[in-house]
């Protein structure tokens, strides 16, 4: 029997990621209700789902979970509402998938973690990248011991200059007070991956970075508040709004164009850009989040990790490099390419990896085995800004399967590691702002997390 799902929040994530998967997999899940304050968004998803019940207020939907015979809930509301909705759904006794970040502020995260007894056994966090074929392959290789004891992990988050301008200068995540720090809003995925691969909570973190470029003093002479108000730099500015939303995305009518408004015609897009946030000059917006940040992390046993995030990249993808006592792994998420060097004679990779290509050569001077791999592309992805290389589909499939098994909140959907990675983000931001190294265990101990919340447990989940 398909699992009966309620979607709370029918915006980009609730609709295009989680809702879309349920609609396309009617044998596994059906959407029985949609809650959203916006009539148009709510009706569109409910209609696409075959006539799901509609609720303008999420509280009414939560109150009806029993009557709806709901097996699970997807929470994809604005970040500031995450904890309120999560606690209400937990109290209703229904398992739920909570879009990341679980909480936009440290105080809200403490509130959620402080109710771990009510929440942990029912909660899955939307850390989708660990459900991609690419990162799951890396995890299998590391856990197999093929490259020995881990020594270093390097992750580079290439945000993409157009993506950063869209989401973090003009978009909903441009202000810390209205959403969360960039290290949480964007790189919580990467911190989750580092924590997941490392297999334990960190010992300490140190972070540097800031908002260097998207500032008023860097605006071209004469640049107006909105790009379409006669900007003299329109022909040369990489961030001229119509070049992205009208020209580059001419054939796109879903994400991210639908965020401009319901009319996605050329005329509709231009009208939205004339007065809307997505048409603002990137140097005259009210953004305050960092446009670059680097974090160094130390784990027990001497393992160290670094995370670099930058707005100023030509790609919107991630690079990874992992060194171990018996090998090295490097990878490029967008292409699925991995190069794995196994130093030990006779060493091998685990069997059954989801590979589209695999070539083995001898690497001088010791002629150790170099494996050049390409991980098979995910069957389900949504493209630029969405889909997360198949991670959205992978997470939703696992969540629905866990609903059937009754295992939400454990294993790959464990609240413990998700909580650790959120705490790592807040610790990194504190370090960036204060310039001081953060002792993670001591810092967590000083927080108001109570009732046995499983932070910093060292679990390898």
In the chain, domain spans: 3-128+387-410, 129-214+287-384+411-461, 225-279
Instruction: Give the helix ranges, DSSP H, for 322-414.
Output: 391-405
Strand (E) or helix (H) holding 61: helix 58-63
pLDDT band at 460 (very low <50, low <70, confident <90, very high): very low
Pairwise pLDDT comparison (126 vs 94), residue with the higher score: 94
Superfamily of domain 3-128+387-410 in CATH is NAD(P)-binding Rossmann-like Domain (3.40.50.720)
- pLDDT above 60 (res 381): no
Looking at per-residue pLDDT, the higher value among 358 and 410 belongs to: 358
Q: What is the pLDDT of residue 455?
A: 47
Q: Is the pLDDT of residue 456 over 60?
A: no
Q: Give the chain's end-to-end CA distance (angstroms, integer).
A: 29
Contact 32, 65 (CB under 8 A): no
Structure tokens at 434: 């204060």
Taking residues 355-383, report their average pLDDT: 87
Q: Is the model more confident about 199 or about 386? A: 199
* Local confidence band at 457 (pLDDT 50, 70, 90 cut-offs): very low
Average confidence (pLDDT) over 89-116 = 92
For residue 368, pLDDT over 70 is answered with yes
Residues 46-63: pLDDT tens digits? Answer: 999 999 999 999 999 999
Q: Which tens digit of pLDDT belongs to each residue from 251-268? A: 999 889 989 998 999 999
Does residue 233 register a pLDDT over 70? yes
CA distance 170 to 166: 5
Q: Is 63 helix (H, G, I), strand (E, B) or coil?
A: helix
Q: Residue 410 has what pLDDT?
A: 87
**pLDDT at position 278 over 50:** yes
Nearest residue to 29 (alpha-carbon basis) of 431, 403, 415: 403
Quick one: pLDDT band at residue 353, thresholds 50, 70, 90?
Answer: very high
What values do phi and psi take at 432, rounded to 5? -60, -40
233 Cβ contact partners less than 8 Å away, ≥ 6 residues apart: 220, 222, 223, 240
What number is the average pLDDT over the span 168-189?
A: 93
Would you say residue 388 has pLDDT above 80? Answer: no
Bridge partners of 315, per DSSP, are none
pLDDT band at 398; cut points 50, 70, 90: very high
Superfamily of domain 129-214+287-384+411-461: Dihydrodipicolinate Reductase; domain 2 (3.30.360.10)
Taking residues 303-325, report their average pLDDT. 97
Instruction: State both tokens at 31.
Output: 């959407």
Query: Which residues in 232-388 belong to E strands, given as ranges?
Result: 292-298, 304-310, 317-324, 327-332, 337-342, 355-363, 368-375
* Phi, psi dihedrals of residue 162, rounded to the nearest 5°: -75, -35
At residue 452, the pLDDT reads 39
Q: Give the pLDDT confidence score for residue 170 in this predicted structure.
A: 98
Average pLDDT, the chain: 92
pLDDT score at 379:
58
At 418, is the pLDDT very low, low, confident or very high (cuts 50, 70, 90)?
Answer: confident
Task: Identify the pLDDT of residue 119.
Answer: 87
Tell me if the pTM is above 0.85. Answer: yes
């Amino acid at each position: 029997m398909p699992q009966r799902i309620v979607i709370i929040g029918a915006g980009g994530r609730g609709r295009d990621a989680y809702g879309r998967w349920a609609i396309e997999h009617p044998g596994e899940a059906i959407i029985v209700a949609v809650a959203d304050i916006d009539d148009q968004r709510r009706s569109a998803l409910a209609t696409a789902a075959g006539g799901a019940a509609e609720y303008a207020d999420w509280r009414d939907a939560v109150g009806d979970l029993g009557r709806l015979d709901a097996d699970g809930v997807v929470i994809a509301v604005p970040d500031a509402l995450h904890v309120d909705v999560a606690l209400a759904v937990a109290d209703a006794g229904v398992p739920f998938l909570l879009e990341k970040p679980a909480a936009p502020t440290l105080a809200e995260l403490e509130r959620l973690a402080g109710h771990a007894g009510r929440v942990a056994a029912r909660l899955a966090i939307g850390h989708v990248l660990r459900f991609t074929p690419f990162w799951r392959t890396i995890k299998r290789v590391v856990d197999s011991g093929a490259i020995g004891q881990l020594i270093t992990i390097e992750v580079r988050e290439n945000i993409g200059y157009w993506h950063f301008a869209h989401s973090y200068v003009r978009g909903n995540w441009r202000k810390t007070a209205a959403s969360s720090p960039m290290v949480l809003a964007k790189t919580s995925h990467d911190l989750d991956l580092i924590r997941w691969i490392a297999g334990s909570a960190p010992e300490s973190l140190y972070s540097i970075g800031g908002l260097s470029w998207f500032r008023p003093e860097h605006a071209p002479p004469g640049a107006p508040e909105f790009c379409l108000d006669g900007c003299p730099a329109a022909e040369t500015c990489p961030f001229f709004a119509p070049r992205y939303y009208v020209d580059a995305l001419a054939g796109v009518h879903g994400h991210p164009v639908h965020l401009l408004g319901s009319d996605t015609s050329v005329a509709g897009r231009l009208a939205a850009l004339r007065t809307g946030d997505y048409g603002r000059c990137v140097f005259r917006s009210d953004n305050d989040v960092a446009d670059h940040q680097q974090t160094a992390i130390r784990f027990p046993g001497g393992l160290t990790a670094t995370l670099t995030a930058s707005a100023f990249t030509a790609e919107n993808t991630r690079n990874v490099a992992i060194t171990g006592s018996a090998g090295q792994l490097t990878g490029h998420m967008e292409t699925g390419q991995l190069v794995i060097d196994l130093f030990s004679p006779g060493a091998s990779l685990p069997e059954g990896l989801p590979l589209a290509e695999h070539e083995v050569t001898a690497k001088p001077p010791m002629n150790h085995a170099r494996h050049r791999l390409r991980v098979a592309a995910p069957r389900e992805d949504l493209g630029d800004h969405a889909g997360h290389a198949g991670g959205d589909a992978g997470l939703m499939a696992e969540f629905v399967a866990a609903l059937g098994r009754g295992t939400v909140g454990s294993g790959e959907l464990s609240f413990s590691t998700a909580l650790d990675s959120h705490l790592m983000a807040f610790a990194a931001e504190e370090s960036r702002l204060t310039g001081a190294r953060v002792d993670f265990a001591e810092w967590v101990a000083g927080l108001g997390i109570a009732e046995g919340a499983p932070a910093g447990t060292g679990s390898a989940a």
